[in-house]
Chains A and B, each alone.
Chain A
Amino acid sequence: MAHGPAKGIGRWFFTTNHKDIGTLYLWFSFAMFLMGGFFAMVIRAELFQPGMQIIKPEFFNQMTTMHGLVMVFGAIMPAFVGLANWMIPMQIGAPDMALPRMNNLSFWILPMAFTILTATLFMEGGAPNFGWTFYAPLSTTYAPPTVNYFIFGVHLMGASSIMGSINIIATVLNMRAPGMTLMKMPMFVWTWLITAFLLIAVMPVLAGAVTMMLMDINFGTSFFNAAGGGDPVLFQHVFWFFGHPEVYIIILPAFGVISHIIPAFSRKPLFGYSSMVYATASIAFLSFIVWAHHMFLVGMPIGGELYFMYATMLIAVPTAAKVFNWISTMFRGSLTFETPMLYAVAFVILFTIGGFTGIMLAVAPADIQYHDTYFVVAHFHYVMVAGAIFSSTAAVYYWLPKWTGKMYNETMGKVQFWIGFIGFNVTFFPQHFIGLAGMPRRYSDYALQFSDWNMISSTGAFIYGTAQLLFLYNVITTIRSGKPVSEPKTWDGAEGLEWTLPTPAPYHTFTTPPAVK
């Protein structure tokens, strides 16, 4: 049993070790993050000035589509699956994931999926150009021929996510250390358990949506084709039945990460643990019954609009419970602001801004004005970037010493945070203004009155992009030449089973389960 990792490159191909697979997921997601970020830089470079300067409108559409797909499915989701692989066994006192071989498979089909998806950029007809939401008939009747590669790629991603979720649920439900009841589980494990159930419920629906597209395009069915008796609006219902829970799939593990970091640097236990658990579960439940707030303009009757409006606003209640719990955890704590804590505090502030704009967008009569403007773009980047990306960055800084046995450079970490924080806000805050002023999203050009704010926004985007390269530099220098640390607890306020393990965490941990009081 006491053997280390296999030698050579084969270690990474054939590994069934949860830490190796977690590492693979994290590096893969970072590679995808840089690629999706590069697409974003192309978008912002084109929007730096009005008129067409760098790329053609058709390619601009491919960039917005690929940016969305790569960031959602390639960067954010695998980053959190990577964190789950690393941390869940260590946090519940299990020796590994429940299904290690399936774990290997669910990682390795991801690079295949994204090779297929990005290969379309070099094919005749170009990459998918119908937006990451791929509404029919843009993605069926009027799609480029490469749409079939896109569909196959989405099938593979879905299979990967479903296998990953099955693995996480099987691990959490069966392999907890003796004495760790469900209500003693760390918040990250709780949020991931709920997220995994969401994934199992909705990833097959996404697979169903693209399968129906595939049938419509290649086999003459008419699921979404009005001329054949189908209905394009059905596509939007199916897509958002997946798509709305998907946004909570992205954000719930982020909530879990923040629920570890804030108590650690406040040197206080998490305020309202059980309310956190119930709030997470309520958000997950509500996410299934609000999907049509993305579709206020498809021509729903007033009753439907009212129902989806009020149901959506209801989500603010459990979310606010979480935000108040984090604030209460900090209240009168012995706060210190190391890099993970800076990211966590920024998360709470910026995510709350994104939440408020979410409530504005939930108001159906107001949404008629905001729909498909940059206001929406600003809203979902405040929750996706400042929510998911900030928290996964925080998680890397927080657990990196435990993973590698090396401490990152605190000054460099803070510099990276502040450049990223300023860059992010300069990029996305002005998009609220131009959105309210009426600039539509997904266009390669804009009216002249939006010029100034777009230039500022693009400048911020380049700053934010630079901050990510600095993050890569920080992580690599930590691994190669960081100051070695060996005490089990890197952070004096951190609690949890992972901090009882030696630093760096050995290849095999908890081969005999710890006792949990």
Chain B
Amino acid sequence: MENNIPKSSIKKTLLKLSVGAIGMFVFAVFLMPPLYYALCDLTGIGGKTAGRYESKDTTIDTTRTVKVQFLTINNGSMPWDFSPRVTEVVVHPGEAKAVTFYAKNRTSKKHGCSSCAKSYSI
């Protein structure tokens, strides 16, 4: 290459850019994590856990009551019946109550009917 391409300035550019690239790697591995934690501490941003999690016994809050309603909607083309036995319960927060649902397969097949290709667990 006989035209006057400045070899030394290409070297200078190469050096500067390489230092930049290495600098960004150092920034990512060594500066970003501490910076992130410092910012989280400072502002309370982020999902960093604060100290240990401990399990707590749940207590039933009898001062409040919650009404829970159960609704089911069946697609008309579905070959099954599905409905709640009890449509409404009243519970206190923290309290466990069992409810039952009614399901009936109206086809003669055990599983794998063509129009309901997939069963979902709720």
Q: Give the interface of A toward B (CB within 8 A).
A: 1, 49-51, 94-96, 98-99, 162, 165-166, 169-170, 173-175, 200-205, 207-209, 211-212, 223, 226, 230-234, 237-238, 241, 298-301, 304, 445, 448, 511-513
Contacts and interface: CB of A to CB of B under 8 A. Distances in A.
Nearest to B6: A174
B67 interface: no
B48 A233 contact: yes
A238 B9 contact: no
Contact of B24 (A169, A201, A298, A301): A201
Nearest to B8: A174
A237 B32 contact: yes
Contact of A301 (B3, B33, B45): B45
B21 A200 contact: yes
B23 to A, nearest CB: 8
B1 A96 contact: yes
Contact of A200 (B20, B36, B43): B20
B2 interface: yes
A512 B3 contact: yes
Contact of A233 (B21, B25, B43, B47): B47
B interface secondary structure, majority: helix
Contacts of A212: 29, 33
Nearest to A175: B5
A507 to B, nearest CB: 14
B108 interface: no
B38 interface: no
Contacts of A98: 5, 10, 13-14
Nearest to A211: B29
Given A99-B10, A170-B17, A511-B2, A207 B28 contact: yes
B98 interface: no
B103 to A, nearest CB: 18
Contacts of B82: none
Contact of B117 (A51, A162, A203): A51
B107 interface: no
Contact of B5 (A169, A174, A209): A174
Nearest to B118: A51
B101 interface: no
B36 A237 contact: yes
Contacts of B2: 1, 511-512
B22 interface: yes
A42 to B, nearest CB: 20
B36 A234 contact: yes
A241 B6 CA distance: 35
A411 B117 CA distance: 45
A169 B17 contact: yes
Interface string B24-56: 110111001100110010011111110000000
A241 B32 contact: yes
18 contacts: A98-B5, A170-B13, A170-B14, A174-B9, A174-B13, A175-B5, A175-B10, A205-B27, A207-B28, A208-B27, A209-B28, A231-B46, A233-B48, A234-B32, A241-B28, A299-B46, A299-B47, A445-B118
A157 to B, nearest CB: 14
Going nearest first, the 6 A-B pairs with the smallest beta carbon separation are A208-B28, A204-B25, A204-B24, A51-B117, A205-B28, A208-B29
